[in-house]
Amino acid sequence: MSLCEVASDVTKSTTIGDLPNDILHRILENMPIKDVVVTSILSKQWLHIWSTLPHLVFDHLFFDHVGASAASIICKILMQHTENIRGFHLISKSHTLLQSDVDQFIMFVSNHGVQKFTLDMDTDGKYVLPDSIFTCSTLTHLKLSRCIFNLPVEAQFPNLVSLQLKLFSIDRPVGSNNATLILPMLETLELMCCFNVHSVNLNLGSVPATNRLDVSLNLQSLKICELKISVKCFSCLLCLLQNCPKLVELDIDLLEKVDATRNHSSELFYYLKAHDQVISEALSTMRTVRLRKFKGTAIEMYLVQVIIDNSPNLKRMNIETVQEK
């Protein structure tokens, strides 16, 4: 190569518009959506870039900026979108959208390959998810707050790996005592302040057509927001852990004393000692345990000892204390 050719290459300028589309998408995804839309006026190329953005996030900054026009603007953005939408997120605890508008948005993204969906709006817990959510087979991550699941007798999310529900209510099907929610690929389940979950049968494993059913959960991480210290609650927890052979991380946010009398404490101590083998099996894969709002009571200290003694693969145990007022 001649010196002239080298000098020519050096003087060539590289602009941000010369970057590959996937890198431009990543840059735009870190910008507020209102600023992303503005880039469309830069050139025809930028018009193409923003209309193919795979992840759309409408957060409080967006709602604060557009006010009452939010729904119509979101609708226009969706109508101009030309590619699949992998992520669609509506997040603002101080703003609300009409039920009909959110229904249309969910239906649209469900038909455009959405994988990650978040709904966390100021709905007062009255928003009922549309039936179209249950036919969206592409969903892998679902995060919902202040909503109502109006479950059919049987609903399925075949590819969902993460489900987070907060301030959530589940309505049973008319004429049925229970509903079944099939989640064969689920790895992470988080429930916080949810109502009527007892009316739902979770099917989280591959279900063969047999008379006897042993369900094996794919959960790797489990967060329990409140665990009452009682024989009944601990027996349920052990049952859950036994059916999670892949579980490696357990996070308990609050251990709450139900009854601190000597009789009930003795009953729980006896139960834990009598089920030592079951506890060992339930904790055999555990690598990380977190206990939050720890008060240091005798029963809590004993539980820590039980966890350590029966978790051969435990690598980390975090205990966060709290000062009682």
- pLDDT of 165 > 80? The answer is yes
Long-range Cβ pairs for the range 70-77 (8 Å, 24+)? 70/95, 70/97, 71/97, 71/98, 71/101, 74/101, 74/105, 75/101, 75/104, 75/105, 77/33, 77/37
Range from 86-90, 111-115, 152-156 carrying the lowest mean pLDDT: 152-156
Note whether 34 and 65 are within 8 A (CB). yes
Between CA 207 and CA 194 the distance in angstroms is 26
Tell which of 206, 234, 256 closes a domain: 206
Share above pLDDT 70 across residues of the chain, in percent, rounded to a whole number: 73
User: Do 21 and 108 belong to one domain?
Assistant: no
235, 198: one domain? no
- Reduce the DSSP state of residue 214 to 3 states and report it: coil
181 in the same domain as 72: yes
Query: What is residue 45's predicted lDDT score, i.e. its pLDDT?
Result: 64
Residue 214 lies in a domain: no
The number of distinct structural domains making up the chain is 3
The residue type found at 33 is: I
Q: pLDDT band for position 314 (50/70/90)?
A: very high
Q: How far apart are CA 201 and CA 190, in angstroms?
A: 16
Domain edge (last residue) among 172, 206, 240: 206
Residue 251: pLDDT above 90?
no
Name residues whose C-beta falls within 8 Å of residue 153's C-beta, 6 or more positions apart in sequence: 173, 176, 179, 180
Q: Are residues 44 and 72 in the same domain?
A: no
pTM of the model: 0.61
Q: Which of 155, 156, 201 is nearest to 178 (CA)?
A: 201
Average pLDDT for 274-288? 90
Domain hosting 164: range is: 55-206
Within 10 angstroms of residue 246's Cβ, the number of other Cβ atoms is 12
- Regarding whether 114 and 159 lie in a shared domain, the answer is yes
Interval 180-198: pLDDT, tens: 788 888 877 777 777 776 6
Q: How does pLDDT run across 259-269, given as a tens digit for each residue?
A: 554 556 778 88
Residues 39 and 90 in one domain: no
142, 14: one domain: no
Is there a single domain that holds both residue 35 and residue 124? no
